Amino acid sequence: MPLFLLEIGLEDLPAEEAEAVAQAFREAFVRELEAARVPHGQVRLLWTLRRLALLVEDLAEKQEDVVEEVRGPAVSVGLDPQGNLTPAALGFLRRYGGAPQDLVRRPVGEKEYLFLRVRRPGRPTAEILREIVPRALSAVPCSKFMRWDGGMAFLRPIRWVVALLDGDVVPLELAGVRAGRLSYGHRFFGSAVELGHAGDYVGALRAAKVLVDPEERARLLREAIAGVEREHGARAALSPELWTMLLGQTEWPRPVVGRIPSEFLELPEPVVVAALREEGKFVPLTRGGRIAEVFLGFAEGEGNPEVIRRGYERVVGIRLRDARSFFEEDRKLPLSARVPALKGVVYEARLGTLWDRVERLRQICAHLARLFGLPLEPLDRAALLCKADLLTVMVREFPELEGVMGGIYARLDGEGAEVARAIAEHVRPRTREDSLPESPLGVALSLADKLDGVIGPIRVGEIPTGSRDPYGVRRRGSAVVRLILEKGLRFDLFALVEEVADLYPGTEPVARVKAFLWDRLRSALEERAIPYDIVDAVMAQEDGDFLGVWERAQALRAWAGRPELPALALAFGRVRNILKGQEAQGFDPALFREDAEKDLWHAYQRVKPQVEGALAAHRYSEALEALASLKAPIDRYFDEVLVMCEDGRVRANRLGFLRELSELFLRVADLSRLVVPG
């Protein structure tokens, strides 16, 4: 089947966005193909900063035919009393080329209508491509849009288009640019490339000094980095952001190793790393916790390696001289001396200044010190100083060093090691991939920082939506949950939120904050591969002990393959079903009449302390083991006892007992929500 090539040549895309734009274009194109009913095989994505390209294997030559039912006249109009077709029905058939035997009668509301099954043949794929390619490109989200003579809006102007179905040009057009078979190689070292067949694309571009396959470029970059690491016994300080820049800004990358002047090697390692990363083409290297004397750069295309190396070393030297001057300027004033100036920096108009935020962090930390048994004095000191580095020249120049520089300056100022470390760690995790704080004080201060970033915005009405989250509340909420689950923090988060809620202005109820954090926990459980029905079961009742919810979910997942669980879920489902819509207030065992209800009562008395003991010790699998022993007496109870009997007093007593039994189960999970195999 045909191979389709689509290449869209562009002015240089921003390196940090190129990969995301390319992925979004592929996804949009595949959606359009599927919506147009065009069968296809693998859709391979190829891209550089100057082009987006797709290679579609086994592309069908036409759309799939579609069969649809067309509604005609009502039966009362289309058929006479003898059941013969009326002129209205015959005209309907002529219009769609149908035969009388193709008609069927179907009710629609209170009337019955004649329907005709009509087969619509698929259109040629070449025609479809002319329509869906512009739609797919227009569907790509961009940080900003440019408009040019072609009348289209996109991240960058379109300069050429290649569209080949095997060896034939597909006559489509994008922004006034007609598709052909002419592509372009490297800007400086390549040339125009005339493609005879879609399958020639990758090889022809490689010959023109363009590695259009991102996997090939990535492999070259990784091999170069690994080679330098081996040669110099160092480790590349390669952040995800820097990797994105490296992959996105070159078409023919060539490694260049440069040296860092010894005068800069005494600068703190994070400072040198930040200065080199800022350029987007230099990979810093570290050795033994200190910056190494070499760095790796990537040149674009062929050139004199020695000239390129000297140029790179000159650029790095300039950046490091600037960084050293920032560092020396900042050291003129101790970190603690900057704290009063936080009163003059607005954090958010409704939430006050950075000083106000620091005061809130200190109060939250006081609660956390009590909850986790931490020393209050160093934690409070770390909270007081943790935002002071926002006023330093270094952090203004390199915002990613927030916290990191605070920790360095605090250590140099003579603050305690645990204080300096907590300051350095409090901004982590910044992203989902970022590491968590390691020290107890760092964990507590980070948790306080993230909670403040959730509670404050929500209380003043900045609740995240699907498309809007200007304060990063969703990211911070996820960080709160991650800290609790991965650091094993056992406390009542909802009680803490209630305790500190009055620190914040705003009219949104505290319940909105709790509901948001509960939703973040649900997302975290699902991301950790907990099946949705188990998530529903353990989250049936709101619980501020997020770690306990996670542990109950793990215990239930471990039970998923055991035959006892479906049977126990069905038994408990009978309890939950009969309680729906029923008021049940207490019970008296003396009113039990049947042997089955007396036996269930005795079993419940035996099991309850076992479950409560297991819950108190957070041994949730043991709690499930104890509950499983109630399965048989519950089944017997429902087989032999009529709960909804005519005697109102007896009925209420039985419902009251079942309510208490249900509440014991619910302290572990609502097992009735589990999906039980048929």
SS3 450: helix
Cα–Cα distances (Å) from 426 to 70, 423, 575, 580, in that order, read 64, 5, 47, 47
Helix (H), strand (E), coil (C) string for 571-635: HHHHHHHHHCCCCCCCCCHHHCCCHHHHHHHHHHHHHHHHHHHHHHCCCHHHHHHHHHCCHHHHH
Q: Exposure string (b/e) for 463-484, b if CB count within 10 Å is 16 or more?
A: bbeeeebebbbbbbbbbbbbbb
For residue 189, what pLDDT is reported?
A: 78
Cα–Cα distances (Å) from 60 to 32, 43, 63, 66, 375, in that order, read 14, 13, 7, 15, 69
d(CA 676, CA 678): 6
d(CA 499, CA 534): 31
Tabulate helix, strand, coil % of the chain (nearest 5): 55, 15, 30
Helix or strand run (H / E) with residue 194: strand 192-194
What CATH number should be reported for the domain whose range is 337-528?
1.10.3210
Cα–Cα distances (Å) from 313 to 84, 218, 237, 326, 579, in that order, read 92, 24, 18, 20, 76
d(CA 427, CA 450): 8
For residue 150, what pLDDT is reported?
A: 60
- Dump strand ranges (E) for 227-321: 235-236, 253-259, 282-287, 290-300
For residue 64, what pLDDT is reported?
A: 83
For residue 283, what pLDDT is reported?
A: 93
- Decide: 236 and 228 in contact? Cβ < 8 Å: yes
Cross-strand pairs, 146: 154
Torsion of CA 136, 141, 147, 149, to 10 degrees: -20
Architecture of domain 558-673: Orthogonal Bundle (1.10)
Closest CA relative to residue 277, chosen from 157, 399, 374: 399
d(CA 597, CA 576): 17
Burial of 608 (0-12, 13-18, 19+ CB in 10 A): middle
Residue-range domain boundaries for the chain: 4-62+124-207, 66-120, 214-315, 337-528, 558-673
Ranges under pLDDT 50 in the chain: none
Closest CA relative to residue 183, chosen from 7, 5, 3, 4: 7
For residue 161, what pLDDT is reported?
A: 96
pTM of the model: 0.81
Helix or strand run (H / E) with residue 105: strand 103-108
CA 133 to chain centre: 28
Closest CA relative to residue 237, chosen from 245, 248, 249, 229: 229
CATH topology for the 4-62+124-207 domain: Alpha-Beta Plaits (3.30.70)
- Decide: 40 and 58 in contact? Cβ < 8 Å: yes
Alpha-carbon torsion 330, 332, 336, 339, what sign? negative
Planar angle of CA 632, 637, 640, nearest 5 degrees: 120
Q: Residue 501: what residue type?
A: A
d(CA 534, CA 341): 50
Residues 6+ apart with CB under 8 A from 465: none
Cα–Cα distances (Å) from 447 to 80, 478, 488, 503, 546, in that order, read 78, 11, 13, 16, 14
d(CA 542, CA 548): 11
